[in-house]
Structure 1
Amino acid sequence: MPQRAWSNKRERQYEHIKESAEDRGKPEKVAKEIAARTVNKERARAGEARQSSALSRNDISSGRRGGLRSHKGEGGRTRDQLYEEAKRKNIRGRSTMTKAQLERAVS
Protein backbone atom coordinates (compact mmCIF):
# COMPACT_ATOMS: atom_id res chain seq x y z
CA MET A 1 0.00 0.00 0.00
CA PRO A 2 2.92 2.43 -0.17
CA GLN A 3 1.80 5.61 -1.88
CA ARG A 4 3.57 7.98 -4.25
CA ALA A 5 3.38 10.77 -1.66
CA TRP A 6 5.44 8.72 0.78
CA SER A 7 9.18 9.27 1.01
CA ASN A 8 11.62 6.36 1.10
CA LYS A 9 11.74 6.73 4.88
CA ARG A 10 7.94 6.37 5.12
CA GLU A 11 7.96 3.34 2.83
CA ARG A 12 10.59 1.66 5.05
CA GLN A 13 8.53 2.59 8.12
CA TYR A 14 5.42 1.07 6.50
CA GLU A 15 7.21 -2.21 5.73
CA HIS A 16 8.67 -2.41 9.22
CA ILE A 17 5.29 -1.85 10.91
CA LYS A 18 3.54 -4.29 8.56
CA GLU A 19 6.11 -7.03 9.18
CA SER A 20 5.97 -6.43 12.92
CA ALA A 21 2.18 -6.78 12.95
CA GLU A 22 2.37 -9.97 10.88
CA ASP A 23 4.97 -11.36 13.30
CA ARG A 24 2.47 -10.75 16.11
CA GLY A 25 -0.06 -12.90 14.24
CA LYS A 26 -2.18 -10.25 12.52
CA PRO A 27 -3.59 -11.19 9.09
CA GLU A 28 -1.82 -9.49 6.18
CA LYS A 29 -4.81 -7.27 5.37
CA VAL A 30 -5.01 -6.02 8.97
CA ALA A 31 -1.23 -5.55 9.15
CA LYS A 32 -1.31 -3.41 6.00
CA GLU A 33 -4.10 -1.26 7.40
CA ILE A 34 -2.31 -0.76 10.72
CA ALA A 35 0.91 0.18 8.93
CA ALA A 36 -0.77 2.60 6.52
CA ARG A 37 -2.72 4.35 9.26
CA THR A 38 0.37 4.67 11.43
CA VAL A 39 2.52 6.06 8.62
CA ASN A 40 -0.18 8.51 7.55
CA LYS A 41 -0.58 9.74 11.12
CA GLU A 42 3.17 10.23 11.47
CA ARG A 43 3.19 12.13 8.16
CA ALA A 44 0.44 14.39 9.47
CA ARG A 45 2.35 15.01 12.71
CA ALA A 46 5.47 15.93 10.73
CA GLY A 47 3.55 18.30 8.43
CA GLU A 48 4.09 16.11 5.37
CA ALA A 49 0.40 15.58 4.58
CA ARG A 50 -1.78 18.07 2.69
CA GLN A 51 -4.81 17.31 4.86
CA SER A 52 -4.90 16.03 8.42
CA SER A 53 -7.21 16.08 11.40
CA ALA A 54 -6.42 18.11 14.48
CA LEU A 55 -6.21 14.88 16.48
CA SER A 56 -3.55 13.48 14.14
CA ARG A 57 -1.48 16.64 14.46
CA ASN A 58 -1.80 17.19 18.20
CA ASP A 59 -2.03 13.68 19.65
CA ILE A 60 0.94 11.83 21.17
CA SER A 61 2.95 9.83 18.66
CA SER A 62 1.78 6.37 17.64
CA GLY A 63 4.94 4.73 18.95
CA ARG A 64 4.72 6.38 22.35
CA ARG A 65 1.01 5.79 22.71
CA GLY A 66 1.35 2.04 22.20
CA GLY A 67 -1.89 0.56 23.49
CA LEU A 68 -3.00 3.38 25.74
CA ARG A 69 -6.37 3.52 24.05
CA SER A 70 -6.63 -0.17 23.38
CA HIS A 71 -9.78 -1.59 24.95
CA LYS A 72 -9.44 -5.05 23.47
CA GLY A 73 -6.88 -7.40 22.00
CA GLU A 74 -3.53 -8.23 23.59
CA GLY A 75 -5.11 -7.93 27.02
CA GLY A 76 -6.24 -4.32 26.64
CA ARG A 77 -4.89 -1.67 28.96
CA THR A 78 -2.68 -2.60 31.87
CA ARG A 79 -3.76 -2.21 35.48
CA ASP A 80 -1.37 0.71 35.85
CA GLN A 81 -2.89 2.47 32.84
CA LEU A 82 -6.37 1.93 34.25
CA TYR A 83 -5.22 3.17 37.65
CA GLU A 84 -3.82 6.37 36.13
CA GLU A 85 -7.09 6.99 34.30
CA ALA A 86 -9.02 6.39 37.53
CA LYS A 87 -6.68 8.83 39.26
CA ARG A 88 -7.38 11.48 36.59
CA LYS A 89 -11.12 10.88 37.06
CA ASN A 90 -10.68 11.08 40.85
CA ILE A 91 -12.34 7.70 41.50
CA ARG A 92 -12.38 6.83 45.19
CA GLY A 93 -10.94 3.49 46.37
CA ARG A 94 -8.87 3.00 43.23
CA SER A 95 -5.74 1.91 45.09
CA THR A 96 -7.38 -1.29 46.35
CA MET A 97 -9.22 -2.14 43.10
CA THR A 98 -8.33 -5.06 40.86
CA LYS A 99 -7.84 -4.61 37.12
CA ALA A 100 -11.41 -5.77 36.44
CA GLN A 101 -12.81 -3.35 39.03
CA LEU A 102 -10.77 -0.49 37.56
CA GLU A 103 -12.03 -1.33 34.05
CA ARG A 104 -15.62 -1.09 35.29
CA ALA A 105 -14.94 2.09 37.25
CA VAL A 106 -13.34 4.05 34.38
CA SER A 107 -15.82 2.99 31.69
Structure 2
Amino acid sequence: MPTNDQLGAAVRKLVGQVSHWTPPRWAASGLSGASRADLMHDLIQWLADRTAEVEARPPLPVPRLDNDLALPDQLQVIAADLARYAPPEVQQEAAARITALRGAFS
Protein backbone atom coordinates (compact mmCIF):
# COMPACT_ATOMS: atom_id res chain seq x y z
CA MET A 1 0.00 0.00 0.00
CA PRO A 2 1.67 3.26 -1.07
CA THR A 3 0.31 5.32 1.83
CA ASN A 4 1.60 2.84 4.38
CA ASP A 5 4.99 3.00 2.64
CA GLN A 6 4.89 6.81 2.78
CA LEU A 7 4.17 6.79 6.51
CA GLY A 8 6.86 4.18 7.15
CA ALA A 9 9.41 6.14 5.13
CA ALA A 10 8.62 9.35 7.02
CA VAL A 11 9.05 7.55 10.36
CA ARG A 12 12.33 5.94 9.28
CA LYS A 13 13.75 9.28 8.15
CA LEU A 14 12.83 11.06 11.37
CA VAL A 15 14.13 8.22 13.52
CA GLY A 16 17.36 8.19 11.52
CA GLN A 17 17.72 11.92 12.08
CA VAL A 18 17.15 11.89 15.86
CA SER A 19 18.03 8.43 17.17
CA HIS A 20 21.61 9.46 18.00
CA TRP A 21 20.65 12.67 19.81
CA THR A 22 21.91 13.23 23.34
CA PRO A 23 19.75 14.59 26.19
CA PRO A 24 21.02 18.17 25.69
CA ARG A 25 20.06 18.05 22.02
CA TRP A 26 16.55 16.84 22.92
CA ALA A 27 16.30 19.64 25.49
CA ALA A 28 17.17 22.35 22.96
CA SER A 29 14.36 24.69 22.01
CA GLY A 30 12.45 24.02 18.86
CA LEU A 31 9.39 25.77 17.48
CA SER A 32 7.51 28.10 19.83
CA GLY A 33 10.19 27.73 22.47
CA ALA A 34 9.16 24.17 23.32
CA SER A 35 11.93 21.61 23.62
CA ARG A 36 12.54 19.22 20.76
CA ALA A 37 11.52 16.41 23.11
CA ASP A 38 8.20 18.14 23.82
CA LEU A 39 7.59 18.61 20.10
CA MET A 40 8.31 14.94 19.43
CA HIS A 41 6.06 13.84 22.28
CA ASP A 42 3.28 16.11 20.97
CA LEU A 43 3.58 14.41 17.58
CA ILE A 44 3.49 10.96 19.19
CA GLN A 45 0.38 11.94 21.16
CA TRP A 46 -1.28 13.22 17.99
CA LEU A 47 -0.57 9.89 16.26
CA ALA A 48 -1.93 7.97 19.26
CA ASP A 49 -5.09 10.10 19.25
CA ARG A 50 -5.67 9.41 15.54
CA THR A 51 -5.20 5.69 16.17
CA ALA A 52 -7.77 5.82 18.97
CA GLU A 53 -10.21 7.59 16.64
CA VAL A 54 -9.93 4.97 13.90
CA GLU A 55 -10.23 2.19 16.47
CA ALA A 56 -13.36 3.90 17.91
CA ARG A 57 -11.95 4.00 21.42
CA PRO A 58 -11.22 6.84 23.83
CA PRO A 59 -7.78 8.42 23.48
CA LEU A 60 -5.22 7.69 26.17
CA PRO A 61 -2.23 9.81 27.13
CA VAL A 62 1.11 8.56 25.88
CA PRO A 63 3.45 8.34 28.87
CA ARG A 64 6.17 10.97 28.97
CA LEU A 65 9.13 8.85 29.94
CA ASP A 66 11.99 10.17 32.05
CA ASN A 67 14.51 9.47 29.29
CA ASP A 68 14.01 11.38 26.03
CA LEU A 69 16.20 8.83 24.27
CA ALA A 70 13.11 6.58 24.19
CA LEU A 71 11.15 9.00 22.00
CA PRO A 72 12.21 7.45 18.66
CA ASP A 73 11.08 4.04 19.93
CA GLN A 74 7.74 5.46 21.07
CA LEU A 75 7.29 7.06 17.66
CA GLN A 76 7.93 3.77 15.88
CA VAL A 77 5.46 1.83 18.03
CA ILE A 78 2.65 4.37 17.78
CA ALA A 79 3.18 4.92 14.05
CA ALA A 80 3.07 1.16 13.44
CA ASP A 81 -0.33 1.01 15.14
CA LEU A 82 -1.57 3.91 13.04
CA ALA A 83 -0.28 2.31 9.84
CA ARG A 84 -2.09 -0.89 10.71
CA TYR A 85 -5.51 0.66 11.37
CA ALA A 86 -5.81 4.09 9.76
CA PRO A 87 -7.32 4.84 6.37
CA PRO A 88 -5.05 6.31 3.68
CA GLU A 89 -6.01 9.95 4.27
CA VAL A 90 -5.08 9.72 7.97
CA GLN A 91 -1.80 8.03 7.10
CA GLN A 92 -1.03 10.77 4.58
CA GLU A 93 -1.70 13.48 7.16
CA ALA A 94 0.49 11.64 9.67
CA ALA A 95 3.33 11.34 7.15
CA ALA A 96 3.05 15.06 6.40
CA ARG A 97 3.21 15.97 10.10
CA ILE A 98 6.21 13.71 10.66
CA THR A 99 7.98 15.21 7.66
CA ALA A 100 7.21 18.74 8.87
CA LEU A 101 8.71 18.01 12.29
CA ARG A 102 11.75 16.50 10.64
CA GLY A 103 12.18 19.73 8.68
CA ALA A 104 11.82 21.78 11.85
CA PHE A 105 14.60 19.74 13.46
CA SER A 106 17.02 20.44 10.58
Q: TM-score, normalised by structure 1?
A: 0.30
If asked which structure has higher relative contact order (CA below 8 Å, sep 6+), I would say 2
Bigger radius of gyration among the two: 1
